[in-house]
């Protein structure tokens, strides 16, 4: 993804990789800035096999409740606080020992305000889910297929890149836009479908409340309420707020991989005798059919729970292109540079951020 300031010749890094599910020791987990220079040189794409933490069953039906086996925390990673050149605090995890978690590719947390942003850049072969979890700021999104929209606090944008998309995401007006971006892989049969956008305003996101627990259901189902968002790769994504003294029991399909990222507060996850975990920790969950959470602190606990059905397919990634073979990656790069097979509009189109 290209990350730069629209008003300066020096790029400003404002996207942080929080959850690099990439197991390759040769991969550079340091956040990087990519220039707008186009080159035809093919760098070696990254090839890796993703990890399934759960059982081998292919049944994606939600497990019976209450859970017979609450998942344990298989890995706990603390984000490292640092300050970017813009002065904004960021939290970043760069841990090469974290195994791949099929079907997920990475999780980013970002804070962006003018003049920085995400100018025109391509994608192929995967989906992204942008969840704007802050309380201020606006992002203007547009792509070469003619889609335009403005996304604000609490809104969701789900982009299926499919065979190819070029788009931009730039701040619209003053204020800091804070959010999480999740990359989700597509199966081989879906990698070359037509691109698609789904957007939900905050007021339209499904909500539920029970026994001191509130949830915004971005994808999947909680407390008997289901999100209207269609996920081509079966996925659950929920923003929970557990109030002091409350307990949560949330089913997770047993064969799915899942993780938690704590946004605010502290809580106990998995078993009640576990030590509490504080904000900016990522918890990769082991096998089980549901998650137990307790808030024994004096302030609300907020976290996202994300799970997905593993694809069990090889993954080859080169920057914004995620395919199954090296040959498909080379094909994707050629298609983008030559403007074909889904990228026909790439050369002619420029977003408003590059034309003003």
**Residue 301: CATH number of its domain:** 2.60.120.10
Residue 277 pLDDT: 95
Calpha distance 280→138 (Å, rounded): 24
Helix (H, G, I), strand (E, B) or coil at 332: helix
Q: How far apart are the first and last CA of the chain?
A: 21
Residue 346 lies in a domain: no
Give pTM, 2 decimals: 0.79
Calpha distance 141→217 (Å, rounded): 23
Residue 339 pLDDT: 92
pLDDT tens, the chain, 356 aa long: 433 333 332 233 333 334 444 333 333 333 333 332 233 334 456 655 555 544 333 333 344 445 556 667 777 777 665 544 433 344 554 443 344 689 998 887 777 777 777 888 899 999 999 899 877 778 888 888 878 888 889 999 999 999 999 988 888 877 777 888 889 999 999 999 999 988 899 999 999 999 999 999 999 999 999 998 889 999 999 999 999 999 999 999 989 999 999 999 999 999 899 999 998 888 999 888 889 999 999 999 999 999 999 999 999 999 899 999 999 999 999 999 999 999 998 888 887 755 54
User: 276 is in which domain, residue-wise?
Assistant: 73-308
Residue 98 pLDDT: 43
Residue 153 lies in a domain: yes
Residue 104 lies in a domain: yes
Residue 19 pLDDT: 44
Residue 227 lies in a domain: yes
Calpha distance 121→107 (Å, rounded): 18
Residue 313 lies in a domain: no
Residue 176 pLDDT: 78
CA dihedral of 120, 123, 126, 129, whole degrees rounded to 10: 0
Distances (CA, A) of 61 to 58, 149, 167, 215, 221: 9, 34, 34, 21, 11
Residue 302 lies in a domain: yes
DSSP H or E run through 43 = none
Residue 108 lies in a domain: yes
Residue 333 pLDDT: 95
Domain count, the chain: 1
Residue 19 lies in a domain: no
């Amino acid at each position: 993804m290209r990350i730069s300031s629209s008003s300066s010749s020096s790029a400003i890094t404002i996207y942080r990789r929080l959850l690099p599910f990439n197991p390759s020791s040769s991969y550079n987990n340091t956040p990087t800035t990519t220039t707008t220079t186009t080159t035809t040189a093919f760098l070696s794409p990254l090839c890796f096999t993703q990890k399934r933490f759960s059982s081998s069953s292919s049944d994606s039906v939600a497990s019976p409740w209450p859970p017979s086996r609450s998942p344990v925390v298989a890995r706990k990673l603390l984000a490292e606080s640092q300050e970017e050149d813009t002065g904004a605090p960021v939290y970043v995890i760069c841990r090469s020992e974290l195994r791949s978690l099929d079907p997920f590719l990475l999780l980013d947390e970002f804070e962006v305000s003018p003049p920085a942003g995400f100018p025109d850049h391509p994608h192929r072969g995967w989906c992204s889910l942008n969840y704007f979890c802050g309380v201020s700021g606006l992002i203007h999104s547009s792509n070469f297929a003619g889609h335009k929209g403005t996304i604000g606090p609490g809104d969701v944008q789900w982009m299926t890149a499919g065979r190819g998309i070029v788009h931009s995401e730039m701040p619209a007006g003053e204020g800091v836009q804070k959010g999480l971006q999740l990359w989700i892989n597509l199966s081989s049969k879906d990698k070359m479908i037509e691109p698609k956008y789904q957007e939900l305003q905050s007021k339209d996101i499904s909500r539920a409340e029970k026994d001191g627990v509130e949830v915004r259901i971005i994808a999947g189902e909680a407390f008997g309420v289901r999100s209207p968002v269609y996920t081509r790769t079966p996925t659950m994504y929920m923003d929970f707020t557990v109030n002091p003294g409350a307990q949560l029991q949330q089913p997770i399909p047993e064969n799915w991989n899942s993780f938690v990222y704590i946004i605010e507060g502290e809580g106990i996850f998995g078993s009640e005798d576990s030590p509490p975990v504080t904000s900016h920790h990522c918890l990769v969950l082991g096998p089980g059919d549901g998650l137990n959470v307790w808030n024994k602190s004096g302030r609300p606990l907020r976290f996202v729970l994300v799970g997905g059905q593993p694809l069990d397919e090889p993954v080859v990634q080169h920057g914004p292109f995620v395919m199954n073979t090296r040959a498909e990656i080379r094909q994707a790069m050629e298609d983008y540079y030559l403007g074909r097979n889904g990228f026909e509009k790439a050369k002619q189109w420029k977003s408003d951020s590059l034309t003003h």
